[in-house]
Amino acid sequence: MTLYDFILKAIKAAFQFALNALSNQPKGILTMSLIIADDQQVGLSIAPKDKKGNAAKIDGIPVWESSDSAILEVTASAESLSATVVAVGPLGTAQISCRADADLGAGVVELIGTLDIEVIGGQATTLGIIAGSPVPQP
């Protein structure tokens, strides 16, 4: 992937984020995306907000999941308000989700945050020379 492709993908992701935020998605669902190399990890956290953008509380412990643990592993912190995602497998895309209960009483109002993460190849570390089959000289 060239630098141009990487920048273009980042711009598309930013526009998609804006579109998602303005669209008629089901209540409480917001999707974003990120690209990491196969030798990287990334810290994630949640920050619940009310409809006016103020900090809000959630009930219980949030639950973090990876849609494909062969590509990305997610490990929640002790309080589950943050997690670490590690690229572990083949190149590809997986989705990390976090579910939390917004109802501070006996009921449940589920909020879901998702993050699409694409795992790409890391920086080259070796340079191999590949030989073809020997042929007679002309």
Domain boundaries, the chain: 3-120
> Low-confidence residues of the chain, pLDDT below 70?
1, 4, 6, 8, 10, 12-31
SS3 115: strand
Q: What is the rounded distance in angstroms from the CA atom of residue 99 to the CA atom of residue 61? A: 9
Provide the 8-state DSSP code for 38. Answer: T
Q: What is the rounded distance in angstroms from the CA atom of residue 96 to the CA atom of residue 104? A: 24
User: Please, which residues have CB within 8 angstroms of residue 99's CB and are 6 or more apart in sequence?
Assistant: 62, 63, 65, 110, 111, 112
Q: Which pLDDT value is given to residue 64? A: 97
What is the per-residue pLDDT across 31-52, written as a single tens digit (0 to 9) for each?
A: 578 999 999 999 999 999 888 9
- Contact between residue 72 and residue 101 where contact means Cβ atoms under 8 Å apart: no
Instruction: Assess if CATH 2.30.130.40 describes domain 3-120.
Output: no
Q: Which pLDDT value is given to residue 26? A: 46
